[in-house]
Homo-oligomer: A and B are copies of this chain.
Amino acid sequence: MQEPIVEFELTKEFRDRFQEALDSRDEAFIRESLQGIKAADITALLYEFNPEEAKYVMDLLPIEMQAEIISDLDSDTRKKNLKVYQPHEISEFLNHLASDDTADILHELPVKEREEVLSGLDPELRSQVIELLRYEENVAGGLMAKELMKARYHWSVVQCIDEIRKQAENVSKFYAVYVVDDQDKLMGRVALQDLIITDARTIVGDICEKDIISVETYLEDREVAEIMRKYDLESVPVVNVQGQLVGRITIDDVVDVITEQAEEERQAMTGISEAVEEDDSVWRNARARLPWLLIGIFGGLMNAKFMGLFEVQLARVTAIAFFTPLIQATGGNVGIQSSSLIVQSLANPNFVDEGLWKRLIKVFFVAILNGLFLSVLVLGANVLLFGEYTLSLIVSIALFSVVVFASFIGTITPLVLNRFGFNPALAAGPFITTINDLLGLTLYFLTIRLLLI
């Protein structure tokens, strides 16, 4: 009797030992060490090696496992690794994958190669995949798989189970049988457990659950994710505009959507402009960071030019310069906080849209409260630390205005970005900070102009 295995852990020692075995083409060691390891673990291991080495390892594995690994790899690595394969070899993998995974991989190939790979697919898979390739990758049609269990409304449970027997080899994971009418229109679903516990002569239409959630092919992937999360669905049927059942989406695809979204949002927020990972090359890392740094630099130069207009005042009261970092940092922080909260509520489509005005009024009150608190605090601190009454008052007035205006900009920017179809999370990063830096400086020197000189 065998123990249930626990997760395989990829250690640096194992990686190094494996690299040695690869260098010396030590097939025996490699075969032995891959014994009993799951495909997902081999995938993780392959990230450590170059495409030729990865192919050498893959060639020692059963074709089903190779297919699973290819499908598991992240898109960038897969593109790189597949370069060392012939189109007919790729077709061979794909013939062991589900239609949705096959379509995802084909999307990544150059058009010419895609056609060659397509022509090597089994006829049924090919026609399924050709249908899937019509959809954008970020809509329900692009997420769905064609493989599903389908039963007619008037079938008996016995007929249904017979059909499952026939279809079982094509459908690897299923939780329910979808029930359709003679025009393939989706009518409902029967849970597998209900098929097991129901009398064999019962008509499927009588035991099927009827008011089920389905999604249309063109629904955006993040909306599909939200629906599955909200209604706790492990799979959801996809229908076309005629209401005909055309595919199904399973929760594992949606988990990937959620994870990718969170990652995209983080990158947008922290000013990294292309998908990049710490272990990508130095060059790529540098390039991904540059665009936002340049925007920051441009903002900084504008700041310098602007301050130059006040050279006379600065020369007279040098201490004016001391407080620009305080004003700007607070503006930046308030702006990011505000936009982050808006991004959060935009990500949650459940909320009832309160209308722009109600929102702004609320943000305004929060800003007044924090602005008052901080500016009184800073007034006290400045009088104690620097003893300059007029300047301290000016700093506090500017600080208060900055908190209010930065809240406003932080609130409005993600809403505007979202309206025009950009990722609103962009507003929770360097973009908003750059704007608020300039804003802070302007308000500060405006106050100085009005009150000091």
Give the interface of A toward B (CB within 8 A). 1-7, 10-12, 15, 36, 38, 40, 44, 47-48, 161, 164-165, 168, 173-175, 181, 186-188, 192-193, 195-197, 210-214, 216, 227-232, 234, 237, 239, 243, 250-252, 254-256, 258-259, 261-263, 265-267, 269-272, 276-279, 282-283, 285-286, 289-290, 292-294, 296-297, 299-301, 303-305, 307-308, 311, 314-315, 318-330, 332-334, 336-337, 339-345, 350-355, 359, 362, 365-366, 369-370, 373-374, 377-378, 381-382, 385-386, 428-430, 433-434, 437, 441
Q: Contacts A173-B234, A282-B362, A329-B433 given; 6 further ones with Cβ under 8 A?
A: A40-B231, A165-B197, A192-B193, A258-B262, A269-B340, A320-B321
A93 CA to B256 CA, complexed, in Å: 34
Q: Are B296 and A329 in contact (CB under 8 A)?
A: yes
Residues of B within 8 A of A192 (CB): 175, 192-193, 196
CB distance from A251 to the nearest CB of B (A): 5
Are A187 and B4 closer than 8 Å at their CB atoms?
yes
The reply to whether B262 and A333 contact each other, CB–CB distance below 8 Å, is: no
6 A-B pairs within 8 Å (CB atoms) are namely A4-B243, A175-B175, A234-B251, A266-B269, A285-B366, A318-B321
Residue of B nearest to A13 (CB): B352
The reply to whether A329 and B300 contact each other, CB–CB distance below 8 Å, is yes
- State the CA gap A107–B340 with chains docked (Å): 29
A296 touches B330 (CB 8 A): yes
Instruction: Indicate if the CB atoms of A333 and B433 lie closer than 8 Å.
Output: yes
Give chain B residues whose Cβ lies under 8 Å from the Cβ of A270: 269, 336-337, 339-340, 428
The A contact surface, by secondary structure, is helix
A286-B369 contact given A297-B378, A378-B297, CB 8 Å threshold: yes
Contacts of A381 in B (CB 8 A): 301
Which of A216, A278, A429, A441 neighbours the largest number of chain B CB atoms within 10 Å of its CB? A278
Question: A11-B352, A214-B4 are contacts. A319–B329 as well, Cβ < 8 Å?
Answer: no
Q: Is the CB of A341 within 8 A of B296?
A: no
Q: Tell me whether B36 and A211 are in contact (CB under 8 A).
A: yes
Cβ–Cβ contact B258 & A38, under 8 A: no
**Assembly CA distance A254 to B228 (angstroms):** 13
B314 engages A278 (CB within 8 Å) = no
Given the contacts A286-B369, A296-B329, A340-B270, A196 and B161 also touching, CB distance less than 8 Å: yes
The interface residues of chain B lying within 8 Å CB-to-CB of A378 are: 297, 301
